[in-house]
Amino acid sequence: MSKLYFRYGAMGSSKTANAIMVQYNYQERGQNALMLKPRLDDRDGARIVGSRSGLSAPCRFVEELDGIDLTAYDCVIVDEAQFLTKAQVEKLVEIVDGMGIPVICYGLRADFQGNLFEGSHWLMAWADTIEEIKTVCWCGRKATMNARVAGGKVVKSGEQIVLGGNESYVALCRKHWALGELAPLEIRRIAAGKEAYMPLLLEADPSEAMISKYLDAGELYALLANGQTAGEAVIIPREDGSMELKNLAVAEAYRGRGYGKKLVEHMVKLCSTRADRLYVGTSPANVPFYEGLGFERAYTEKGFFTDNYPEPIIENGIVLDDMIYLAKDL
Ligand SMILES: [Zn+2]
């Protein structure tokens, strides 16, 4: 007996990553699983499902179902299923009951105001199996609500779906969603959409070309203060097995609060499980900051700033020349 599944979870509960894993499991068994998502607007959006973890996979649009021969498929997977219409959910029911193909839907249960989405409503009503994918609020409780965040604040009014806006979404427990309280301070890894973090990274390293070199291969972390990006750090493995802190930036409005120190201490902790040393290359003005955190001078790279940057970088009235490397044993 084939079934219609609805696996729901709040933002960041790895629904898309789960969907991609299920498709992979089918492929591993020599079977075909069709990945679908609803098309949100008239523009020809990307036929791709992407997860915050950085995983992505090609997909087709639910709207294209009529033109797809399903007989070769052993399973249909639908991501972003909250955006399905009632008619589209009916179509999925037909695929399960009429063709005997299991359909697995992944989506949010409720919108930023706590109302069911249309797709979730009908999936809740008609699915054979309903499963919750859990994630946690910053307070540690189960996150069941999706808060819309704009300008660092939880907003409660507006359209259900905003296309191309500057809003972001955060999973919160019901209490913190109701109070509109975001994490006072948290450090999160950013795996997808790293380009949006470039402006602040440029404050610590004025060359976009240099940043691009390490941003892709490196791990980017953001320090969020009440939902606002207050600081960023990038770490990257070195060829000798040690790690290097390539960028550390705190936004001007948040300086003087110890956020830079918090980020470095967090990077030290993360690196300590996989390397023996953490290096950082910096300019003379920042040496005391790192020394205060237990780093010691390791070596100097002569002419680094003058050789690698098209424009002279001036710090405290002096043109930067050599890069000073410090290291901390982990
Ligand atoms: Zn909470």
So what's the pLDDT on residue 205?
87
Ligand 1 center–CA 123 separation, angstroms? 27
Give Cα separations from 261 to 105, 186, 201, 244 (angstroms). Answer: 43, 14, 16, 16
Question: Model's pTM, two decimal places?
Answer: 0.81
Query: pLDDT tens across 106-129, in order?
Result: 999 999 999 999 999 999 999 999
- Domain 4-133 sits in CATH at 3.40.50.300
Ligand 1 center–CA 158 separation, angstroms? 23
Going edge to edge, which strands form the sheet with 145-150? 153-155, 145-150, 168-172
Ligand 1 center–CA 324 separation, angstroms? 43
So what's the pLDDT on residue 150?
85
- Which positions of the chain have pLDDT values less than 70? 41-45, 164-166
Contact 6, 129 (CB under 8 A): yes
So what's the pLDDT on residue 55?
86
| Active site residue ranges | 80
So what's the pLDDT on residue 186?
92
So what's the pLDDT on residue 135?
94
Ligand 1 center–CA 155 separation, angstroms? 16
Query: For the chain, give me the number of helices (H) and strands (E)?
Result: 9, 20
Query: pLDDT tens across 225-279, in order?
Result: 988 899 999 999 999 999 999 999 999 999 999 999 999 999 999 999 999 999 9
- Domain 186-329 sits in CATH at 3.40.630.30
So what's the pLDDT on residue 71?
94
Contact 180, 156 (CB under 8 A): yes
108: closest CA among 100, 96, 116? 116
So what's the pLDDT on residue 41?
65
Ligand 1 center–CA 154 separation, angstroms? 13
- Residues at Cβ < 5 Å from ligand 1 ion: 137, 139, 141, 173, 176
User: What residue spans define the domains of the chain?
Assistant: 4-133, 186-329
SS3 sequence of 253-286: HHCCCCHHHHHHHHHHHHHCCCCCEEEEEECHHH
So what's the pLDDT on residue 207?
87
Ligand 1 center–CA 141 separation, angstroms? 6
So what's the pLDDT on residue 328?
97
Structure tokens belonging to residue 214: 């390490």
